[in-house]
Structure 1
Amino acid sequence: MDAVALPWDFRPLDGERVRLTALRQSDLDPLYAMQSDPDVCRYLLYEPRSRDQVVDVLARDAGALRLENAGDYLQPAIRDREGRFLGTMYLELHSVEDRTAEIGWILLPEHQGHGYAQEAATVLLDLCFGELGLHRVYAELDPRNTASVALCTRLGMREEGLFREHMWLKGEWTDTGHHAILEREWAARR
């Protein structure tokens, strides 16, 4: 079994139409627009955030630039080739020993449905299964978020489980869907 190539320090990652970069202070307005939008937050673990909350989140996540230990995460901005903020990706190292990580994505509504999330996720999965040497990457999401479920399918992730009424969230019991892909499955697709 190969070892995970850690530590890994973030650097910009390029796709054909997108670039993943570290969050920066100039992202505050579009990040706030995204994280304060009730429609965007509907299936997320948090309620729409205030501007002050987003200021704190930006300060925290802009500094998350190294993967070394379980629990370390990256939250890069998704940008188009002109540098315009489209949304964010999420990658958390779940286990170094088991070589697993969690992936996620959020896009501003005006940039949804154009393939940006798929391209950005592909860039991160290439990193995960290439340079980092991970074995398994998974996504946990609300199965009512049909756009994210469809994205998991397009990425080649399989549904591994559906946890009924898994958590009390935003005043209701919500289900959690679990989707994953293995390094050999990703390699076969690429």
Structure 2
Amino acid sequence: MRHVDIPGKRLRLREVTVDDVDALHAVYGDPTATEHLPFDPRTREEVEEIVAEAMRAAQAEPRRLYVLAVTDVAEGRTIGVARLHIEHDHPHSAEIGLGLRPDHWGRGIGTDLVRLLLVFGFRHLRLHRVWGARSPANTAAQLTMLVAGMVEEGRIRHHVRARGAWRDSIVHSAIEDEWEGYRDV
């Protein structure tokens, strides 16, 4: 098992634990935080199952799913969640996803988080490609991924069904040999 603990200047990524359920529910259960995500706000029980699944996935060999707590370095509190899922048929490529409590938006923390995920993917897991998808309406996520060094690739039409309707997704990616890396995240 690969234990994950990736420190940055403002954020730290670490394995989720059962102690994170309430903090993660503050993200997964918040209608504002999940507005652009392809699911409705989660109940506390659903978040408990997400954490349990993450802990089971951490034991898998080879490990393909990383669900990580995002903590504020200054305060040590869990303020979000990050996910990296290595593709089964393409083990050098992974999809990322993230969520932060809305009271932490607008300060560049999302950009720091994406950069930490890229550091983890490229430097620690030796991936070749890291990608993420966003709602076309989520322009904050667009800016976050672009500033973090990802490239907007294009649109997947009617990619997910969310809130009773089909929704497109915009894909962003970073490639290991194009990624400049960031020493100060």
- The percentage of counterpart residues that share the same residue type is 34
How far apart, CA to CA, are the structure 2 residues paired with 1:126 and 1:74? 14
Counterpart of 1:109 (choices 86, 102, 127) is 102
**8 Å contact 1:162–1:178 — kept in the other structure?**
yes
Q: Structure 2 vs 1, CA of residues 170 and 156 (structure 1 numbering), >3 Å: closer, same or farther? A: same
- Tell me the CA shift for residue 69 of structure 1: 4.2
Aligned positions, number: 182
State the SS of the aligned residue for 2:16.
Answer: coil
State the SS of the aligned residue for 1:31.
Answer: helix
Listed as ranges, the gaps of 5+ residues in structure 1 are 1-7
Partner letter of residue 109 of structure 1? P
Q: Which residue of 2 aligns with 1:29?
A: 22
State the SS of the aligned residue for 2:179.
Answer: helix
**8 Å contact 1:67–1:93 — kept in the other structure?**
no
Aligned CA RMSD, in angstroms, stands at 2.1
- Tell me the CA shift for residue 39 of structure 1: 1.5
Q: Which residue of 1 aligns with 2:68?
A: 76
State the SS of the aligned residue for 2:33.
Answer: helix
Q: Structure 2 vs 1, CA of residues 89 and 154 (structure 1 numbering), >3 Å: closer, same or farther? A: same
Q: Structure 2 vs 1, CA of residues 167 and 88 (structure 1 numbering), >3 Å: closer, same or farther? A: closer
| TM-score, with length taken from structure 2 | 0.88
- Tell me the CA shift for residue 152 of structure 1: 1.1
Q: Which residue of 1 aligns with 2:147?
A: 154
Partner letter of residue 100 of structure 1? S
State the SS of the aligned residue for 2:180.
Answer: helix
State the SS of the aligned residue for 2:32.
Answer: helix
How far apart, CA to CA, are the structure 2 residues paired with 1:21 and 1:77? 5
Listed as ranges, the gaps of 5+ residues in structure 2 are none
Q: Which residue of 2 aligns with 1:58?
A: 51
Deviations for 1:112-131, whole angstroms, at most 9, x for unmatched residues?
A: 12222222221221122223
Partner letter of residue 161 of structure 2? W
- Tell me the CA shift for residue 98 of structure 1: 5.5
State the SS of the aligned residue for 1:185.
Answer: coil
